[in-house]
Each structure stands twice: as structure tokens, then as C-alpha cells.
Amino acid sequence: MSPSPYSQAIAAAYRDRQPLVASPDAGPQGSAAAYAVQRAVWQALAGDARPTAWKVAATASDTTPTTPFAAPILPQRLFEGTLNAPATLSAGLLIQPGLEAEIAIRFGRDLLPRPEPYQPDEIRAAIAHLCVAMEVVDSRLADPPSAGPDWRLADHLLNGALILGTPIPDWQDLGPDALPVRVHAGKECLCDRPGIQPLGDLFHCLPWLIGHAGGLRAGDVVTTGAWTGMHPIPGSKSLPLSCLVEFAGLGSASMIVQQQETALPQHRPNARPAPAGTQPPTHAFNR
């Protein structure tokens, strides 16, 4: 089946915050189909804009990482925010958000597409700096686990927003050891424990991503996965809500979620609404 019905349903869920009731047997089949849906959703919400930020991840089976998977981050969901100058997000962007503490990579030189994969030393030489990052995990799917991996990949790997925080200029000194991580939502501490690098290597997925993305350019950002897992924001939280992730000795990323609604730009006004069978949203914030 064409990806259009699935991409239109996800795009409608972005706009309306009506989560989709999705099942593995009624959706994209396989990663190629899921990426086709993902690209169509991007076109519907971002038009012809080139992605400048990505999330990338891989799972490990018997200590062997699988083929990575990735999703571009929509430009209207990319922010900068530190403890002293937090990003401001509208609650109208989110449905049932959670928080992840991550480290993102910002490139200072172009890595143009080429047939042979880039080597690790070439990639490291192109990095401007790392930075502390907060990924806001949010889904347009009513039940992401039961929807299956293809729906989750099509849904931009459940990205709700990315907040870039404190730069880490001396990133070459960042070793493989665990680092203390704190995650806060309001006055509640959601996490305070050591975290470890995803797959034990922040740079593992980058050679694959450069090929997948058709190259990366100076200024592009890649966030590399959660150090302590995903931490749901409790449903009792009221607005405005301050959220913080902090890596001891490295810095923090911070945001404030405000009540004002913000609609996503709609590049395709004739996009169809979410199909029948979707359920009303259950929002994480009291309004």
C-alpha cells in the first residue's frame, strides 16, 4: 500500500494531538516502508526543508549492535536551552511526553556523500563540539509498544522535541565511564543515578547515518540516545513546568513548558484528518 494514508494519519495526529490506534498488521511493513512514511510526514510538516538535526540509535543483541535506525527532527521541534536560559515550549506541541538525558554532536565541517563509508577519525575531525541534550520523547501513537517497530520508525522514532544545552568543547576527554545524571520535572526528581553511553560508544551509528542522510553539513546536530532510559512526566504536573537534565561536570539542558497552544505549520492544507478509530488524547499536563 502507498505510504500516503499512514503519513497523512501521522501528520494529522501531529496537528490535532489525537493519538492513532495502530497495529503492526495495519501499517507500514518493513523498514523501507516505514522510512517512506517518515519522509512523507516530513514533507507534510516541513516541506522541502533539509533536515539539520537527527536522532539515531541501535539496539544490541548478545552485545552485537543491530543496524542503526534514524529520524530527522522537525525544525519546529529543535530548541536551545540551558539552566540560565531555558527553551520555551508550548504544551500544544506535546501529548504524553517523557524526558531523556542525552549527548548530542554538532558538526563543524561538511561530510559530503560518497560511496565509501567515512572512517571514525574522519568523523571525529569534523566535529565542532558535543553538548548536553534533552530529548522530549512523545508519540503520535496511542500505544507505541503494541504498534510495533515499523510504526514507531514512521513516527519519527517517537521524537517530541530536542533541546540543546551546554556545549562540551573538550569532548575528546569524555571517556567510557558512567556519569552521574539527574532528570527533573518541576520539583520532582525523575532520575538521579549514573548513566552510561548508549552501546558504550557515542559514535557507533555515525558512519551509517552519514550514508542514510545523504551526508551531513557544518552546523548539523545528531543526538545519540538516552543514558538512563526514558522518564515519563507524571500526569499530575501543571503548567508552566520547568524540566532539566544534568550531567555532572558537563552541564545541563533545560526547558519550560507553557500553556499557550502552538500549531505546526501545514504545508499541505488538503491533508486528510486522522482516520476513524483514533482515541482522544490523554495529556500529561493539567490545563
Three cell numbers written together for 231: 522518564
pTM of the model: 0.89
Q: Which residue has the higher pLDDT, 270 or 176?
A: 176
Structural domains in the chain, CATH included, are: 4-260 (3.90.850.10)
**Residues 224-267 pLDDT 10s:** 999 999 999 987 778 999 999 999 999 999 999 998 654 444 33
Q: Is the pLDDT of residue 287 over 70?
A: no
CA-to-CA distance for 265 and 100, rounded, in angstroms?
26
Neighbouring residues of 188: CB distance < 8 A, sequence distance ≥ 6: 234, 237
**Tens-place pLDDT, residues 129-156:** 999 999 999 999 999 999 999 999 999 9
* Residue keyed to cell 517518515: 38
